[in-house]
Amino acid sequence: MEEYDVIICGAGSAGFCAAVAAARMGMRTALVEKYHTPGGTLTVLGSCSIDQFNNPYIKDRKMIIAGIAWEFTLRLFREGYAHIPDMNAERKAHDQYSVKVNPVAAAKIMDDMLTESGVHLYYGQSAVDVTVAGHTITSVLISTKSGLKSLKAKIYMDCTGDGDLAAFADASFDAGDGNGVFQPGTLRFYPAVSMPGRILSDGDNKNHVTMDTTSSDSITQSEIASRKMIYEQMKQGESIMAVAPAVAAREGRRIAGLSRLNVEDYFAGTVFEDSVFYTYWFVDIHRENAPAQIRYVTHDRTPTIRLSAMISKDFSNLMMAGRCISSDRETNSAIRVKASCMAMGEAAATAAALAIREQVDVRHVSLDQLKQTLDQNGAIIPGKERVFVRESH
């Protein structure tokens, strides 16, 4: 049994930032990822846009997310593998402020930042179960080349996107619309044309497919249906160079937390005592055969994310970051964008590290100390928006 302070399952946008944050705080940190590459939806599954670092509707269109997410973006930019738009420019569409990255370079820079921070990496190894004693998780079981292995930690973080780790523990959750309907997933593919420059554009985003992300059988059927769709497009003359290894999911479980983010607070831009960072995107519920249901945030307030929505209500040492945090469906469709998931990872892991250092339950971590630490580490906490300075990168 190998022992850590923090074990993070899932190395997507949230898990990557969580692991770097925990390890930099001196935690013995393990990161378990079922693919052999970090980055999740951003890299492996071909959705190469990161939204959104600024809120264009507040004065000066200020940056509202920075920290490890921005450090990663700047490292890619300096190597020529990220396009950062001018966030001071006035534009109409929200996605005009998207950062675009090359997924191959993005995974390599993630490897660099994770190894530099001293994270113990378990690539190509899925978390398959947990053991539980009362309201505590006592170990996570992972599948390795030499069979099943048990890892132990003080705090476990579910960054699997779909909330698989929490589900193994039988934690309570909501999923989809509550009646078995989920937003469709998309199998991204890359056309066989040479791309100018170094930034690979997003894979195609047209192929919507029904998928219940809580059911392996449903996922199997949606993989088959997506491949068929892409095959038909090839038969009709589309040249396709590569396809992502799996359908990218928009919606999975939303694990019950000590609080639940709701759409009223989201649009009001409510700042709670435990609001630890800002988030920004529109409510964006995709549907299979109909346009997405969209509701824009177009005012001078910025929504926030609470620490308590990232702490399980059922298990004292389970935290969530990324798409699976505690939220209603509308809010979840907005907060799932990648810059927000990255900020969640950093904030949740920083709270975990402070709790372990101070030997307190993460529910009792000092919020002042947490905000101060995030601020010192370069993250943006509510009230401290920053002007985007183009020359700085």
Ligand X SMILES: Cc1cc2nc3c(=O)[nH]c(=O)nc-3n(C[C@H](O)[C@H](O)[C@H](O)COP(=O)(O)OP(=O)(O)OC[C@H]3O[C@@H](n4cnc5c(N)ncnc54)[C@H](O)[C@@H]3O)c2cc1C
Which spans of this chain sit near ligand X (rule: CB under 6 A)?
9-15, 32-35, 40-42, 47, 49-51, 126-127, 159-161, 164, 186, 205, 248-250, 322-323, 336-338, 341
Rounded CA-CA distance 192/234 in Å is 11
Enumerate residues 6+ apart whose C-beta is below 8 A from 175: 182, 213, 214, 251, 252, 253, 254
Rounded CA-CA distance 151/38 in Å is 20
Closer CB to ligand X, 181 or 367, in the complex: 181
CB of 141 to ligand X, least distance (A): 10
Residue nearest to ligand X (CB): 12
CB of 364 to ligand X, least distance (A): 26
* Residue 265, CA atoms < 13 Å, CB-side half-sphere: 19
CB of 349 to ligand X, least distance (A): 13
Closer CB to ligand X, 57 or 375, in the complex: 57
Closer CB to ligand X, 144 or 372, in the complex: 144
Closer CB to ligand X, 56 or 322, in the complex: 322
Q: For residue 200, give the 3-state DSSP assignment.
A: coil
Q: Show the tokens assigned to 321.
A: 């970051």
Can you name the residues that pair with 139 across neighbouring β-strands?
Answer: 131
CB of 128 to ligand X, least distance (A): 7
CB of 175 to ligand X, least distance (A): 15
Can you name the residues that pair with 136 across neighbouring β-strands?
Answer: 133
CB of 35 to ligand X, least distance (A): 5
Judge whether 297 and 267 are in contact, CB under 8 Å. yes
Closer CB to ligand X, 132 or 367, in the complex: 132
Closer CB to ligand X, 49 or 214, in the complex: 49
CB of 25 to ligand X, least distance (A): 20
Please report how the helices 338-358 and 67-78 are oriented relative to each other, as an axis angle in degrees rounded to 10.
130
Closer CB to ligand X, 130 or 354, in the complex: 130
Is residue 247 exposed (0-12), middle (13-18) or buried (19+ Cβ within 10 Å)? buried
CB of 92 to ligand X, least distance (A): 17
Is residue 278 exposed (0-12), middle (13-18) or buried (19+ Cβ within 10 Å)? buried
Going from the C-alpha of 302 to that of each of 54, 383, 384, the distances in angstroms are 10, 10, 12
CB of 49 to ligand X, least distance (A): 4
Rounded CA-CA distance 166/162 in Å is 9
Closer CB to ligand X, 10 or 303, in the complex: 10
Closer CB to ligand X, 216 or 359, in the complex: 216
Can you name the residues that pair with 285 across neighbouring β-strands?
Answer: 293
Can you name the residues that pair with 208 across neighbouring β-strands?
Answer: 186
Q: For residue 369, give the 3-state DSSP assignment.
A: helix
Judge whether 309 and 315 are in contact, CB under 8 Å. no
